[in-house]
Amino acid sequence: MSHLIRTDDFSTAEIEALLEDAERFSQGGFHRILQDRIIITLFFENSTRTKSSFEIAAKRLGAEIVHLDVARSSTKKGETLVDTAMNLDAMGPHAIIVRHQNAGVPQILSEHTRASIINAGDGAHAHPTQALLDLFTIRRHFGGDVKGKRIAIVGDIKNSRVANSNIELLRRFGMEVILVAPPQFMPQTRLETTYNIRDIIDNVDIIMSLRTQTERHSAQTYASLKDYASDFCITQELVGDRDLIILHPGPVHRNIDIDDALLADPRCKVLEQVANGVSVRMAVLKKLIHDV
């Protein structure tokens, strides 16, 4: 049984095929290849986009989807997470989509289930479908060839599973990644880094802005988000008329991560990312449940 825990679970050739499927699915419509298949979602952390995106993807493929209401589940009665997953697995689902605040949970569950485990985000570790949809969005914008394109990832990189997954995936596809963050949000890395976005703005094709992951901070790291914004908000004034695109995985802190003017600018691909997320997740479900 194959699982998707991290982007490197899929080879480059597998990802090429997956993105081709996603391209086909992006034309719209239903492709009911997963009729009589059951998918369970198990979300221990909040989600707007990822959960509904997986649900729409599953429905457009004709699968049945069951959401476990974690707040009312037996994990609240002291059952271990592995036992919960094994009990759900005994009901015979084809996939279980898991989000958890602790890194490593989807990997552990995958060692105890027959169903495919799909990681929908685990702590600060990985968010593979987000990175796949980001790659898809970037490739579409640049007409397929992304080798040598330079992307600045800006913000709370140290605590971001989106950054981790994107760094692995985008570099594998030949892109150069530059990390832009204040010292407290900068991970240990061999990649190019800077504390000042103005140092590199003339030399990037893409800016990926990230939300400050306040829920993962043990202490307040900035006097206020406004102080952070004065150094790291991607503004109309900063970007000017440069030929670049702006991505953000959402949820966006408006005027902290990206300003209102730029969010309304056609170079900002946030809603395209959301739309592409459905097509890419359809392709992931097809690969793990149908093509096996």
| Per CB under 6 A, 162 contacts ligand ASP | yes
Exposed, middle or buried, 46 (CB in 10 Å: 0-12/13-18/19+)? exposed
Tokens of 47: 């989600």
Residues whose CB falls within 8 Å of the CB of residue 89, separated by 6 or more in sequence, listed in order: 96, 112, 113, 114, 115
| Per CB under 6 A, 125 contacts ligand ASP | no
CB of 127 to ligand ASP, least distance (A): 5
Contacting ligand ASP (CB under 6 A), which of 37, 60, 125, 127? 127
Structure letter (DSSP) for residue 287 = I
Contacting ligand ASP (CB under 6 A), which of 60, 149, 161, 281? 161
- 106 versus 249: smaller Cβ distance to ligand ASP: 249
CB of 274 to ligand ASP, least distance (A): 11
Structure letter (DSSP) for residue 186 = P
Number of shown-chain residues binding ligand ASP (CB under 6 A):
7
Determine if the peptide bond prior to 251 is cis (ω within 30°): yes
Give the H or E element holding residue 168: helix 161-172
* Residues numbered 228-287 forming contacts with ligand ASP, rule: CB under 6 A: 249-250
- 3 versus 161: smaller Cβ distance to ligand ASP: 161
CA distances from 58 to 32, 38, 62, 107, 280 (A): 9, 9, 6, 22, 11
Closest-CB residue for ligand ASP? 211
Contacting ligand ASP (CB under 6 A), which of 93, 121, 123, 128? 121
CB of 97 to ligand ASP, least distance (A): 13
The binding site for ligand ASP (CB under 6 A) comprises 121, 127, 161-162, 211, 249-250
